[in-house]
Amino acid sequence: MESTDEQQVGQRPRTTSGGIELHPISDCQQKWENQLRLTRSKHTLQRYSRALNRFRRAFPGHKDINSFLRPHVNSWVQDRLAEGASVATVRTELAAIRAFFQFCVDMDWALLNPTTNVSVPRRSNLADRGASCQPSSVM
């Protein structure tokens, strides 16, 4: 019987010109949700999936897991707060997104976790900045 490596000859993953494997975020999300089904409650799975879907909708042109950078996440946090989401809600959603990207790093699909060192400012910090918390568009 042929080994798994021999069976996959000619079926290499798509790569960028720099040799980085492309991992569609939709595939990564599906595998992450399958893992959550085994380890988390149904409620947690639903909440985490909603948070990640909301994040993905903010960046419709980003199809690969490695296309996200910290400025995207910071922009998303500011946009959510500007939409009127509470600090607690944004922190909860960010925790779900952080868990997803960490899963992708652990699986060697993502080169980095773009949520690292991203935080949600306290409401008093937002008031100090006044109108500077306008929605932004990072692409």
Fold of 22-129: DNA polymerase; domain 1 (1.10.150)
Whole-prediction pTM: 0.76
pLDDT tens-digit series, residues 79-107:
999 999 999 999 999 999 999 999 999 99
Residue 77, pLDDT score = 97
Whose tokens are 């692409």? That residue is 139
Going from N- to C-terminal start, the domains of the chain cover: 22-129
**21 confidence band (pLDDT: 50, 70, 90):** confident
Predicted confidence (pLDDT) at residue 7 exceeds the cutoff of 80: no
Chain-centroid distance of CA 80 in Å reads: 15
Instruction: Give the list of residues 6+ apart from residue 15 with CB closer than 8 angstroms, or none.
Output: 21, 22
User: How many percent of the chain have pLDDT more than 70?
Assistant: 73
